[in-house]
Amino acid sequence: MEGLDFLIDYLLKEENRFAGMQIPCDKEEKRRLFRALCNMRMPRPVSEEFLRRQDEYLQNELKAKGVVKLSDIELEDASCSNIKLWQGDITQLAADAIVNAANSQLLGCFYPLHACIDNAIHSAAGVQLRNECSDLMNEQGYPEPTGSAKITEAYNLPCRYVIHTVGPIIHGNQPTEEECTLLKNCYLSCLDLALNRNLKSIAFCCISTGEFHFPNQSAAEIAYTTVRDFVKTRASEMTVVFNVFKDTDFNIYKQLLNLH
């Protein structure tokens, strides 16, 4: 774990607030501390040596988790074989692009070890992803609008690109018509980006559910209808994967895809 010690030491020395913090001896504690430090790290330049060692570490982590090819996914929509369903860690999928449910700053999740997908994707990709997102946002000059999307490189992920989209945040018990339209626009924006880049596959997370409180059933219905219509009318050769993590979402999508 000498490489991990180097990475942790580098990150600790970047900021005065971590002065005096000791590197733990336990392997799992080291892994958690490294991820936490990356989560909290503001976008800034980083040394080539850090990137080399970080990339080596993250590639080993990916190898341990395993890469999932789209050809390995057996669950397909009964009426459209281009649409697939897979339950698991989206950072393992070797699609042309995976979709990240981002916030309007597009910089990832800064809460150490948070369980959101934004945190998982940035943690697995490496610090380069936050730096690229920061460059995009500085050039844009304003927060990313809800319903739109941006595309970046994927770095240490097995996919080629990450498409970041900002879903609506639901404050009441049920989403309004406008919020439903904004969620639909998230899917359309991502699909348009993929189509314009000539990508052949894209994997969607459950945008706006969880932390953003969009009801799971309604969100899935919007997602499925939007994707099905897009694939059938504009992108008949594109493969779309609905990636779910929770059993609740898996069961909802199984019904929508008519899987028994």
Residue 210: which residues within 8 A CB-CB, separation 6 or more? 101, 116
d(CA 223, CA 205): 10
Neighbouring C-beta atoms of residue 175, cutoff 10 Å: 22
d(CA 234, CA 257): 20
Whether the full predicted model's pTM is greater than 0.85, yes or no, is: yes
Strand partners, 242: 85, 204
- pLDDT by residue for the chain (260 residues), tens only, comes to 678 999 999 999 998 787 777 888 899 999 999 999 999 999 999 999 999 999 999 999 999 999 999 999 999 998 888 999 999 999 999 999 999 999 999 999 999 999 999 999 999 999 999 999 999 999 999 999 999 999 999 999 999 999 999 999 998 788 999 999 999 999 999 999 999 999 999 999 999 998 888 999 999 999 999 999 999 999 889 999 999 999 999 999 999 998 85
* Domains of the chain with CATH codes: 2-64 (no CATH), 66-256 (3.40.220.10)
d(CA 113, CA 140): 28
* Burial profile 130-165: b = 16 or more Cβ within 10 angstroms, e = fewer: bbbbbebbeeeeeebebbbbbbbebbbbbbbbbbbb
